[in-house]
Chain A
Amino acid sequence: MNERTTLEIIAPTVEEALAQGLADLGLPREAVDVEVLDEGSRGLFGLGGRQVRVRLTIKGAETSEPAAGQPTPAPAAGQPAPAPEPIPTASAGTDELLSISEKTVGELLEKMKIEAQLTTRYGEPDEEGQRPVYVNIHGDDLSILIGRRAEILNALQYIVNLIVSKQLAHWVQIVVDVEGYRTRREVQLRKMARQMADQAVKTGRRQVLEPMSAGDRRILHLELRDHPEVTTRSIGEDPLRKVTILPKE
């Protein structure tokens, strides 16, 4: 279980990095510990300066698993200094994948006539060591971008993955989020998974959850994968496929 309890942000200033990180996580300032990994440098005449790198750690996150407490590998270690941009963007866009991902989401939103700011970063590496790209969309009144059961957000994410993968000629994983919606949803789902598992154990009966997307179901299965007293299974067909939690014999 790799609960995401730390987040690294690259931004022009510590304040901006912190603000972005909190927006991504959807948490207040008090909920995180802040560690400045790289204070950056101003560069000559404000050019060629290095951006700051900040690590946020969620306080009191349920990090009973030792794995979650391990420090995350610093992804930006050997990164070249970002090129100075004419318009200050909040993006960490220093490498090709991040900038193409950001550009693609930006183009789509512009053509949908939606005004928003974007931040991009790499996530924690998955089982195969691939780091997903996170593109977070910030702005006012963006609930129209989420939709029922995140239908719109998922459509946007799917199209972005197709376009960027096609452009780079290899498959990449890009997570598109709005104001940290997915992060908050994941926290909720994990909590719900544990509550329903308790219920299954207490009553000895199978618990059936509401229909969910593949991504949401995956979070539930992973959360309960190592649970000693229950197993999980998905039943039904999309879009009505749902997770069931069964007490072990």
Chain B
Amino acid sequence: MKPLTEYIARSLVEHPDEVDVREYRHGSRVTLELQVAKDDMGRVIGKNGRVANAMRTLLRVAAEREGLQVALDVVEP
């Protein structure tokens, strides 16, 4: 799930080098923290969170295949 998040984020931002994804796992729950440059926040969140929500939808498909639950947080640098 981390590679999927990284790929999408790097493809959408102006500063791909500053994309950082951390994965935390507690049992079957996975939390992904996506950090991007400050001026790229809007590009990975989108209007009304549309981009982040689309990413969550795709992450859910990947997670369900492994019997996991996933949460994605976009965090400030």
Contact = CB atoms under 8 A, between A and B. Distances in A.
B4 A108 contact: yes
B65 interface: yes
A167 B8 CA distance: 12
Contacts of A167: 11
Contacts of A155: 53-55, 57-58
B11 A112 contact: no
Interface in A108-130: 108, 111-114
Given A113-B62, A145-B61, A162-B12, A108 B7 contact: yes
Q: Chain B interface mostly helix, strand, loop or mixed?
A: helix
A158 B54 contact: yes
Interface string B56-77: 0110011011000000000000
A222 interface: no
Contact of A158 (B3, B4, B50, B64): B50
Contact of A112 (B12, B54, B62): B62
B51 interface: yes
B8 A108 contact: yes
Interface of A: 104, 107-108, 111-114, 144-145, 147, 151-152, 155-156, 158-159, 162-163, 166-167
